[in-house]
Structure formats: C-alpha cells, structure tokens
Structure 1
Amino acid sequence: MKKDQIKNNYYEAVNGEWLEKAVIPGDQPSVSAFLELHLGIEKTLMDLTSRWEKEKSSLSKNLQKYIDLYQMTKDFEKRNQLGTKPFDIVSKKIEKLNNLKDLKDVFKELTLEDLELPFGFMVMQDFMNSNNQILYFGAADLFLPDTSYYKDEKQKAQLISLFTMTSKQLLALYGYKEETIDKLIKDALAFDELLVPVTKSSVEKADYVKMYNPLSKKEVQELTNNFDLMAMAEALVNEDVDQLIITNLDFIKAFDDIITDDNFSIIKAWMILSNAIKFASDLTDEIRIAGGAFRRALSGVKEAQSQEKYAFYQAYNRFGQVVGLHYGETYFGPIAKKDVEVMVHEMIDVYQERIKNNTWLNEETKEKAVKKLSTLNVHVGYPDELPPYFDQFKIKGYDNGSDLIQERLAMTKIINVYNFKQYNKEPNRNLWGMPASMVNAYYSPTNNQIVFPAAILQEPYYSLKQSKSENYGGIGAVMAHEISHAFDNNGAKFDETGSLNNWWTEADLKAFNKKSKDMIDLFEGVETGYGQCNGELTVSENIADSGGLRCALEASKNSGHHNFEEFFQNWARVWRNKSSIEYSQLLLKVDVHGPSILRANMQLSNLPEFQEFYEISDKDNMYLPKEKMVSIW
C-alpha cells in the first residue's frame, strides 16, 4: 500500500487491486465480501441440491419436500406449457370483488394466502412485554421504494414512467388487452398516490420504536367505519382482540378517507397489478423475467437470474431454514460452533469492561447496561430447532394437478395460520429469523439476542488461517457490532428482558441523545461519489460500527498477538464493495447501513489509535480532529 493513499483513502489503499479486478455479476447489483461468500455458499447448496435429487430416499422428510418443490421449479417446460393458467386462482378471487363488503368476506382467506392487500395484520412480540405476542396493523408498501422519490417531481416522473412501461409489458404477457392495461395501471397508480402522504419514509421507519402505537378496540372502530378491522383481526386469531398496535398512525387516521367504496375500483386495480407482479415468478420464464424488470432497473442489474439459479432459489427460499440447518451442521459443525461462542462471550466481557470504565454514564445506568449484557442470548452457527410448520408442508406436484402458485398458496397459508396462532402466546426464542446458510448476523432487541449464522463465519471475517488481529478486525468487529445494537438509538430503549423500558437516568439519556446527534452530524452530507450520506437514516448502524470497532480493537490488544495494521486492514477488507451507480443511489435513500467506503474510512478516522498508528495529520483526508471524534461505546 502506498503511504499517501493510506492517509487519504484507506479503503482504496487496502482494496484498490480488488476494486480494479472485481466484476459485478450480471444478475446482481453489486459485488462485495458478503456476496463473494454468498456465491460460494450458493454453489455449494446448488451442487448439494443436484446430488440430493439422485439420493432423495436417504434424505429427511423435509429435505425430500424441498427436492420435490425444486423439481417443480426447474421444470420450465411445464411452466411454459401451463402459461398464465395457474394465476387464475388468484385473479378470480380479486375479479369477483365489487366493494368493501366483498373484500371483508374474503379478507381472512386472502390474508392467510398472503395475497397483496391494501392493509394487513401481523403477529409480533409486544414491545412493552416481550414475553407476549400481539397484533400489529399497517398499510401496504408504495410502488416506489421510498417517499422521497415522490417529492422530486423529475425523478418521480422518470420512475413512474419506467414502472408503467414494465407493468404494461407484464400485463400484456398475462393476456390483458391494451385498453384494460392502461386503465388498470392508471387506477393502481391513483391508489398508490393516496398512500404516499400517509407512508413513513425510510428515515422515519429506521426509528422503529415509533411503529409502536397501541389503540384500543373502541379507538380503532371509531377511526375505521368503512371496514370492520377489529372483526377481521379477531377472525385471524380466533379470539377477542382488545387492542391493535398501529405501525403508522397517519394511515389509520386517514383510513376512512382512503378505504372507501368510492375508491374501490382503484383499490381493486392496485390489487390486480400488485398480485400480477408478485406471482410472476411462479409462471412462464418470459413472465418471470418481465415481473422483475422494474426492480432490476432500479438497482442497475443487467440481467435476470439464469433459469437454473432461479429455480434453486424458488425452492430454497421456501425451505431455507431446513437446508440451512443441514449446511450449518455439515460445513460448520459443533467444534467451530463452540470456538466462535467462546469468542462472542469474550467480546461481551470486553464490552462489559468498557461500560464499567465508561466516563459519561452514571453508576446506576452502568449497572443496568451490564445486566443487559449479562443476559444477552447468544446463538452461533445453526439453530437448535426449526419452526414446526415445515412438517405440515405437502408438495403435490404437477402429476397431481398442482402448479407453483397452488403450492405457494398452500405453504404460505400453513405459515400464516401458525403465525396468527402465536397471538397472546410466549415467543419461542430458539427460533431464528434467518437460515444458517445466510451470510449475515443480527441483534433482536425484543429477545435481547444476537445470532451469527454459520455462513458468515468464513474468510475474510473469520478463519483459522488468519491472524488473531485479522479475525478481530473481521468477525470480532461484526460480533461487537451486533452487541452494540443493544445500545444503539433503538436498542437502548429496550431492557434486558427485551421490553420497551427506559432504564436510563435522565442525565445519561440526555448525554446519549447528544452523542447520537453527534454521530448523525459526523456522517450527514458526507460525499460518497454517488450522493451524500444521510446521517439520520444510518445512525443506528454507525453507532454499532463505532462501538463494534472499538470493542474489537480492545479485544485484539488484550489477546497478546495484536497487530494494528492487520486489524485495520481486515476491517477495511470486509467492507469492500463495488456497486452499480443506480444501486448505490438507491441504498443512500433506503438503507440504514452507511455506504461501504464510509463504514471503512469514517469509522477508522474516528479512531484515535488509527490516527496515531499511521501518523495522520491535518493535511491528510483521513484526518479527523479529536474534538470532532464521536465515542459512545
């Protein structure tokens, strides 16, 4: 690495050669350290799937079902032969609706089958009592990915034009006539426009505690005279419901102005178009490709996935937890699981010490924070159990008159019936939110739980071939990042039980909010080469990155094998990323994670040890004055 490059753009100094050579796959919007691992796992799982086809009888029952579904998804000859006929089961349900009463009569059925509806319910943990699960209510998503796209008239016109063009092409393939298509799209966009003023932006959604707005049964009924929401809620959970958690108060306050019989024709058009897009992936190859055209254009993806890869994912996405468990047990195993668990607990211990030695918290708050850390629930590698609904799945197959949409509706209904049965029940905290074969990690505030799937526990994040410092700069920082989410601007509002509860002293909360604002200011408006960073949107992840990096550095220094350069280099290495300009600009508007170049450079600039080790001066771009540095955890 060149010395001047180190001091001016550390991310490029470390990743320059990779950035020059890296090629974004045609069916992807970007390539990154994450994606490289993902593609390796993808190949492993696709090879496994091909092998399993030949030895199906030796597999577990649920893996046999996975193979049965895969053999349906990859039979594009049969899919093309069936044409749009499988969609009739969906379109007929919508076409026969003429008013809100008709929608009410079938609302439960359509919800359980997960058809696109203008509003809906979900069972999630109660923020105020994490040992119980309750009903949340919200509106459908917009056609464009964020409300900001609707505020810029020029950008809105361009994207709506693109959406209209791709929707026309798709509906024509479904067999709709041109006149019908034009009216359907016009009406669907009219309903979408009604949702814009009552939809939260990505920045607002990032403060997810604000989605917790309890309304009593009476309050809901007073706001929703046009449609009996409480009756629908009670039908879904098969018991009395005394309140709903409203994820967006603006929508329910405007409910009776938007959800009306006068508007039903545009609601119905919205449902037809939305479901045509949703189920396109289950039909012919031409329709599948057309159905994803708008999303690909938004992200700058050059081509649709190959038939082979798409067929794999169609089956895998239904059975990801089942396939993931096999992957974790086979390719990760109990020995590595134990080794990584030890490392996680080591990071927790370092974090506890950092909190105890913290200079801006009072003792009372420190004790609560340490208690939260000591009860942190750690899951590594693969889960101990899977959701029980996989056992209920039955793949009928083409020979028995089934098709991919029938299979999808049946499996979705089983999952949703199970989920709604969890109403007023204690959650099973052993269940994971992602498969073990996913390259990712997460913190759950309502479970006070961190999860590290086996897939991420590979080079450059973690490897026995790497030095201790490299592993600390990679997976160690990721681990501490997830721990830090327990204390970011959202996670800090939940206590050690996972319930929404202010455990801070007034003075400490004020100090924390000030530091959070400083973190927002540190990233706000920083140029990335494809637009400016939104400090408010990315604040939770930036707090977690900062805390994770500091904690991992301390653990590395305590290890007896510390090397600053190896640590810093691997931190920069794990964020290497090359994206299409369209995707980069999209993420700036909707992603709570900061751009990769800032996650690498800004977080290192914000570290005194980095400045001292490389002797960074005020003449260097990597320089950040000490008075501007933000240290929270």
Structure 2
Amino acid sequence: MIKLKNYLLVGAMASTGLLVSCESTQDSAQEESEVVSLDLNLRDTTVAPNNDFYRYANGGWLDKTEIPSDRSAWGSFHELFEYNEKVLSFVLEEATKGELYDENSNEIKAANFYASGMDSLGIEAQSAEPLKPILAQIDQLQSKDELGNVLSSLQKISVTPLFNIYVGIDDKQTDSYIMNVTQSGLGLPDRDYYFREDQTGQDIIAGYKTYITKLFVLVGEDSAVAATKAENIFALESKLAENSMTRLERRNPEATYNKISLAELQENSNWLDWKSFFAGIGVEEISEINVNQLEYISQLSEVVEGSELDDIKDYLKVRFISPNTAYLSNDFVMAAFDFYNKQLSGQQEMRPRAKRMVNSTNGNLGDALSKLYVDEVFPPEAKEKCLEMVNNIKDAMHKRIDQLTWMSEETKKEAHTKLTKLKVKIGYPDEWEDYSSIEISKDNYIQNRWNANAFDNRLNWGKLGQPIDPDEWHMAASVVNAYYNPPANEIVFPAGILQPPFYNYKADDAVNYGGIGAVIGHEITHGFDDSGRKYNHEGELKDWWTEDDAAEFERRAQVMVEQYNGFKVQDTLNVNGKLTLGENIADLGGMLIAYDALQMYFEKNGRPGKIDGMTPEQRFFMSQATLWRGKYRPQLEQQLLIQDTHSPGKFRVNGPVSSMTEFYEAFDIKQGDPLWRSQEERVDIW
C-alpha cells in the first residue's frame, strides 16, 4: 500500500486532490495529511447559487481548467479515470517483477498483453500482415450463399458487420438465458449521421469516406479504386442505417423484445443460413431467439440481395479492419485517430502509448488487473461502509414510495416488493475470471486481442441452457462507472467509482451522500424510470402498474421532457428531453432519496454543524454539483447531443435542483430567481 502511495505522489496527479483513496494505511505521513473532501476554492462566488448553481459550485475549476491536448473532454470522471490509470500502471509493473506469479496466472497474462502492446517496433514490422488471412477469406467468397462462414469467423473475434449477437437474460423469462440478435455494422456513431444535410454533417460524411479510403490504401489498394469502394460502402451502410432503429426507439424495452423461433428467424431473414451460422460459432442447440430490431433484421434480405457481392466483400473488409486499427501499425492508428478522435471528437493529440496500453489491457483482461487494483485501493471497511449507505438509501426510497400522493396503494405495494428484492453488488465480484486457457504472448498484440475476444464470446454464448449466474458482473471492478441491470433487478458499483471525489469514507457524511449517495440513488431510480419501471420485481418485462398510475407517470415525465428540451447547449442545439428522460429521472430521483437518507442518518446519529461556513445540506448539493463538472470540445459535445442518453453536466446539476424544495431551502431560492420554478413547472415523480 505505502509503496503504491509513494509511486503515485511522484506523478502529476498529486495536485488533483484524488490521492485520498478509500483505504486505511499505517503510514503516519498519510494519516497526518488533510482530507479535503470538498474544495470550496473551486467555486465562483461572483455567481449566486440561485442564478446558476452549476457555475457557482464549479466556476473556479471551469476558469482555470484546460482540456488536455490528448483528451476531447475533462472533468471529475476523467480525473478519477486518470488516477485509476496510474494505479493500474503500477500493478502492471509489479506483476512483471520477481517470481510473484505463476507463468499461466491472470497477472502474467495481463503483463504479457501489456508488453505486446508496448512492442511498437514489432507491431510496425507486422504492418497489415495480421489482417491478411481473414481478408483472403473474404476475397475467396464466390457467392452470397457463402457469407455465413465469414460472418462466423468475424463474430468469434467480436467483429459485427450487418448484425451482432449476444446471450443475456430473457426479459420475460428471467430464469433462463436467450440468444439476442441486434442491428449492427455502421461505421459512423449513429444512424442519424448518414442523413445529415447540414455543413458539419456533410464534412463528417466526407471525412468518413476519406477514412475508408485510407484503410483500403493501407492494405494495398490503389487510391482511386479505394475512393470508389468508399462511396459504395457508404451507400450500403446508408441502407442499413435507414432500416435501423433510432436510439430513442431502442430505449423502449417492449419494442426490442421480439422472441421468435429459429425457423421464424430463417423465414424473416432468409439471406443467411442461420442454423449453419450459429453452428459456425459453436452454438449447436438453439430454439428461441430475441430479435431486438425485428424490422432491421427482416430488411437485411433486401439489402444483401440488392447489393453487389464485391460491395459486400469490401464492406466486410472495412468492418473487419476498422475496429482493429488500434492494434496495428501507426499508420492504421493515425487513420482512425484523425477521423474518430480528431474530426468527430476534437481531440488534438494521441494519448501516450503507455496509457493506451494500460487501458487496452484492462479492457481485454479486466479481471486480471481489477483484482490487483482492488487489493491496492479498496479495503473491506470501505465496502462495508458503502453497503451501509446503499441500505440507508433503499430505506429512504421505501419511505418516498409511501409518501407518494399520486400513486395507488396497489402499485405502491409492487414498487416496495421490487425495491426489497433489488440486489446490490459493491466493489468487486466474489470470484475472478480465470484466463489460464487464453494464449497471450508478449509479441503479438492483435492476436492477443482476438484471443481475448474469442474467450469472452465463448463464455457468453456458452451460457445458453445454463442456470442464471447471480454473481455475474458486466463491468471490470476498476471501471469508473455503475449500472442498473433490469432483468436481474440489480445495481452494481465497481470499486473504480468508489473513490474520491465520488466516495471518500474519511469525508463528512453530507459530502458522501451528495457524491456517491446520489449516484447510488441514481442507479436505484433507474429501476423506476420510464424504461426500468416496465420490469417487475423478478426482472421480468411485465406491467405491474394500474392504468391510471401509468398514465399519471407519463404525464409527470412529460413535464421533465419539456423542461430539458428547453436547455440550450450550443447555438440552436438543445438537449433532447425524450432521449435523456431515463437518466434525467434517475438524476432527480437519486438526489431526492440520497438527501432523504442523509436526513434519516442525522436523525439516528445527530446533526453536525457547519463546515467551512456551509450547512450539511449545502455541502450535500455542492458535492453533487462537483460530480458533473466538465469541459467538452465542441465536436464531442455535438456528438453527445445526438447519441448520449445523459444530459450535459450543467443540466445534470441545474435541472434536478430547480425541482427540489430541499435545494430552495438550503440556498434560500425565492420567486423571481433564475432557478426558481412554480410548483406546476417542477418535476415531481419519485
């Protein structure tokens, strides 16, 4: 532990305030250091809280912070992500020293993966050579009837042209797994990009075609021929995009649940021998399939039949090359960077190779690094205290349900049952994935990537016919994120997000409840947002609402939609209130129940006085506001407005607090103030 602390203190992160982690230590120097749980110097006191609370809480930080040149955004999440990178880098270095681990251990697998990515000379020498076997397989296609073999080969290594597949819990039969088939295969971030007619949209389309052209040139194609291929591929992808569900449509779980038999799938989409395709990936016994986007999959027959075989082959090549560019020589890396990072996101410089390789290793062999990460930064006492907070917040949610005036007792009873049965996972899984069967060498980066993907897919597809694994995690423990999983009715908080500024067990309770408490409340509320509310206490996609209660929920949710539609981000670009509705409901609900839980905690343990001149309630709201501080390059901001279901940080702060009486009381908000809303304008759901 002490060695890790000393290692981190040498780095640039020493000035960020993120070094106080959720761990105890016997190092006297660490014990004597001041715990800064809320840095009030980062405020802008020239702005009143009743005017723009986001600016008041974060203005000092916003004024002095520049987005690093190797980033397209910077904020609290990025600061913690950067800290976690340093921890992961440290544990990787330690894994390679001495004889601490067996040669076939997870730790050595991770060390070898990292080493293969750092072998830049070896990767440059390989150039496009690793791509040739699969490119040749695509070239050898003589007819569209032979597509199945190629698609099976690509799916095994997580290349998903035309469609994607995965095994998950059956939304309407949650004691079993089901194979899912989904739309896939677009190179632009969202289907809407293919139809943009504004100048920025046209520039992006032109840039995408240039990118495709570069990829073909890099594998030996003539530039003029490559440009023609790019035009044809874009036309083919445009057909796929036209048939694709929008992001908003995909938020409706009822619209994406279409369980059919294998025979019905074959009848609906007869361009592919589906039974042979599944056999090609090792799935022999399959009877039922959920087709998430049924119309899209049905229309694939028309798209494939209406396209030239050569165009389909070129499309498959691009879809194979593009997701693998990061694992190839620098010319491939830069081609992808220039389009996806620079043009689409505004990032100015490539991140240092060592940082990219740390994240690549963690992304491909997450459990190997995460176990080492957890050992360093997340002791049992931090997990215990966080679990206590979760239980307090669940109790507060039960109380809020009881107090709802708009919901019937019948629906309340079901809501209580769902909340009672909500499963909670904190920090890390009870058992770590065993990577001993994966071949990971020190000198073949892209093959390591494919081997890791093939391993993950075998595990996923192998769940068919097996009992539900209640201990399964869908995120590595080192990830700075959290999630609610509807069919499992569970909330999951990896150790990666249970660090300052989100969680600091040495901080005052108001700061922790306003920080990770609001995040916990957010994930709990996802079980009751416009999408999550459609799942019952068993995780089944089954209506448990009375007709009147459902209608009243929709009416109240519409108030929020209209409120967020009015939030301007850039010029004429506003937040999409419908697309972001679920996250906005969770933001407000999370703050409300975290606030209530804090008050319940004070009732049991006593209410503290002011700290740094601020009441506990004010510190609660200040803590929450600091979570969402961030700066974005304009290109990325525009991209997120199209595809992100979360609102920009400013409105994740000002939006919820403008509907909270508790905030009005804490900061003396009065009628006429910019953040004041009438009772009719305030959102009142949970």
Q: Considering the TM-score relative to the shorter chain, is it more than 0.5? A: yes
Counterpart in the other structure of 2:582? 540
Counterpart in the other structure of 2:60? 17
- Which whole-Å deviations, capped at 9, do the CAs of 1:428-475 have from their partners, x for residues lacking one? 121211111111111111111111111211222221342211111111
The verdict on how the C-alpha distance between 1:285 and 1:300 changes in structure 2, with shifts beyond 3 A counting, is same
Deviates more, 1:491-500 or 1:609-618: 609-618
Inter-partner Cα distance in structure 1 for 2:325 and 2:382: 41
Inter-partner Cα distance in structure 2 for 1:239 and 1:175: 38
Counterpart in the other structure of 1:105? 149
Inter-partner Cα distance in structure 2 for 1:73 and 1:234: 33
Is 1:423 matched with 2:464? yes
> In 2, are the aligned partners of 1:206 and 1:592 still within 8 Å (CA)?
no
Inter-partner Cα distance in structure 1 for 2:679 and 2:264: 52
State the one-letter code of the partner of 1:371: T
Q: How many residues align?
A: 628
> In 1, are the aligned partners of 2:161 and 2:185 still within 8 Å (CA)?
no
- Which whole-Å deviations, capped at 9, do the CAs of 1:129-163 have from their partners, x for residues lacking one? 12211111123242222233233313432111111
> In 2, are the aligned partners of 1:220 and 1:230 still within 8 Å (CA)?
no
| 1:579 maps to which of 608, 632, 645 | 632
Inter-partner Cα distance in structure 1 for 2:356 and 2:175: 38
State the one-letter code of the partner of 1:354: R
Counterpart in the other structure of 1:34? 77
Taking only the aligned residue pairs, the percentage that are identical comes to: 29
Deviates more, 1:253-262 or 1:569-578: 253-262
Secondary structure, in 3 states, of the residue corresponding to 2:159? Answer: coil
The verdict on how the C-alpha distance between 1:357 and 1:3 changes in structure 2, with shifts beyond 3 A counting, is farther
Deviates more, 1:524-533 or 1:265-274: 524-533
**TM superposition shift of 1:254:** 1.6
Q: How does 1:484-495 map onto structure 2 within 5 Å? A: 484-495=525-536
Secondary structure, in 3 states, of the residue corresponding to 2:96? Answer: helix
Counterpart in the other structure of 2:411? 365
Counterpart in the other structure of 1:347? 393
Q: How does 1:2-151 map onto structure 2 within 5 Å? A: 2=45, 5-55=48-98, 57-58=100-101, 61-151=105-195
- Which whole-Å deviations, capped at 9, do the CAs of 1:207-231 have from their partners, x for residues lacking one? 3442111223343222223222244
The verdict on how the C-alpha distance between 1:58 and 1:144 changes in structure 2, with shifts beyond 3 A counting, is closer
| 1:552 maps to which of 574, 579, 594 | 594
Counterpart in the other structure of 1:178? 223
> In 2, are the aligned partners of 1:386 and 1:431 still within 8 Å (CA)?
no
> In 2, are the aligned partners of 1:171 and 1:276 still within 8 Å (CA)?
no
State the one-letter code of the partner of 2:618: E
The verdict on how the C-alpha distance between 1:350 and 1:173 changes in structure 2, with shifts beyond 3 A counting, is same
Counterpart in the other structure of 1:467? 508
> In 1, are the aligned partners of 2:164 and 2:182 still within 8 Å (CA)?
yes
**TM superposition shift of 1:237:** 5.5
Inter-partner Cα distance in structure 1 for 2:85 and 2:126: 29
Counterpart in the other structure of 2:4? none
Counterpart in the other structure of 2:681? 628
Secondary structure, in 3 states, of the residue corresponding to 2:466? Answer: coil
Inter-partner Cα distance in structure 1 for 2:163 and 2:436: 30
State the one-letter code of the partner of 2:446: I
The verdict on how the C-alpha distance between 1:454 and 1:262 changes in structure 2, with shifts beyond 3 A counting, is closer
State the one-letter code of the partner of 1:317: G
> In 2, are the aligned partners of 1:473 and 1:553 still within 8 Å (CA)?
yes
Inter-partner Cα distance in structure 2 for 1:547 and 1:139: 32
Inter-partner Cα distance in structure 2 for 1:226 and 1:171: 27
State the one-letter code of the partner of 2:144: L
Structure 2: gaps (5+ residues): 1-43, 609-615
Deviates more, 1:418-427 or 1:589-598: 418-427
- TM-score in terms of structure 1 length: 0.95
> In 2, are the aligned partners of 1:118 and 1:267 still within 8 Å (CA)?
no
Q: Choose between structure 1 and 2: higher helix proportion.
A: 1
The verdict on how the C-alpha distance between 1:190 and 1:52 changes in structure 2, with shifts beyond 3 A counting, is same
Inter-partner Cα distance in structure 1 for 2:142 and 2:232: 15
> In 1, are the aligned partners of 2:575 and 2:647 still within 8 Å (CA)?
yes
Counterpart in the other structure of 1:200? 245
Deviates more, 1:442-451 or 1:505-514: 505-514
Secondary structure, in 3 states, of the residue corresponding to 2:48? Answer: helix
Inter-partner Cα distance in structure 2 for 1:48 and 1:329: 10
Deviates more, 1:164-173 or 1:364-373: 164-173
Is 1:300 matched with 2:343? no
Is 1:310 matched with 2:356? yes
Counterpart in the other structure of 2:429? 383
Inter-partner Cα distance in structure 2 for 1:51 and 1:236: 37
- Which whole-Å deviations, capped at 9, do the CAs of 1:326-374 have from their partners, x for residues lacking one? 2123311111111111110111111111112221111111111111111
The verdict on how the C-alpha distance between 1:4 and 1:412 changes in structure 2, with shifts beyond 3 A counting, is closer
The verdict on how the C-alpha distance between 1:283 and 1:238 changes in structure 2, with shifts beyond 3 A counting, is closer
> In 2, are the aligned partners of 1:344 and 1:479 still within 8 Å (CA)?
yes
Is 1:512 matched with 2:553? yes
> In 2, are the aligned partners of 1:347 and 1:555 still within 8 Å (CA)?
yes
**TM superposition shift of 1:236:** 4.0
Inter-partner Cα distance in structure 2 for 1:225 and 1:81: 43
CA RMSD in angstroms, aligned pairs only: 1.9
Inter-partner Cα distance in structure 2 for 1:281 and 1:294: 13
Is 1:270 matched with 2:304? no
> In 2, are the aligned partners of 1:56 and 1:67 still within 8 Å (CA)?
no
State the one-letter code of the partner of 2:668: E
Counterpart in the other structure of 1:436? 477
State the one-letter code of the partner of 1:224: S
Inter-partner Cα distance in structure 2 for 1:574 and 1:118: 38
Inter-partner Cα distance in structure 2 for 1:459 and 1:418: 34
Inter-partner Cα distance in structure 1 for 2:109 and 2:357: 15
**TM superposition shift of 1:198:** 0.7
The verdict on how the C-alpha distance between 1:3 and 1:291 changes in structure 2, with shifts beyond 3 A counting, is closer
The verdict on how the C-alpha distance between 1:131 and 1:627 changes in structure 2, with shifts beyond 3 A counting, is same
Inter-partner Cα distance in structure 2 for 1:485 and 1:51: 39
Inter-partner Cα distance in structure 2 for 1:606 and 1:61: 52
State the one-letter code of the partner of 1:542: N
State the one-letter code of the partner of 2:274: L
**TM superposition shift of 1:627:** 1.3
Counterpart in the other structure of 2:32? none
Is 1:496 matched with 2:549? no
Is 1:591 matched with 2:671? no
> In 2, are the aligned partners of 1:123 and 1:134 still within 8 Å (CA)?
yes
Inter-partner Cα distance in structure 2 for 1:262 and 1:579: 40
> In 2, are the aligned partners of 1:443 and 1:485 still within 8 Å (CA)?
yes
> In 1, are the aligned partners of 2:91 and 2:372 still within 8 Å (CA)?
no
**TM superposition shift of 1:57:** 4.1
Inter-partner Cα distance in structure 2 for 1:471 and 1:617: 27
Secondary structure, in 3 states, of the residue corresponding to 1:578? Answer: strand
> In 1, are the aligned partners of 2:52 and 2:654 still within 8 Å (CA)?
yes
State the one-letter code of the partner of 1:108: S
Inter-partner Cα distance in structure 1 for 2:99 and 2:672: 64
Deviates more, 1:181-190 or 1:483-492: 181-190
State the one-letter code of the partner of 2:579: L
Inter-partner Cα distance in structure 1 for 2:206 and 2:524: 44
State the one-letter code of the partner of 2:186: L
The verdict on how the C-alpha distance between 1:134 and 1:533 changes in structure 2, with shifts beyond 3 A counting, is same
Deviates more, 1:532-541 or 1:613-622: 613-622
Inter-partner Cα distance in structure 1 for 2:281 and 2:128: 30
**TM superposition shift of 1:494:** 0.8
Secondary structure, in 3 states, of the residue corresponding to 1:292? Answer: helix
**TM superposition shift of 1:595:** 0.9
Inter-partner Cα distance in structure 1 for 2:225 and 2:181: 32
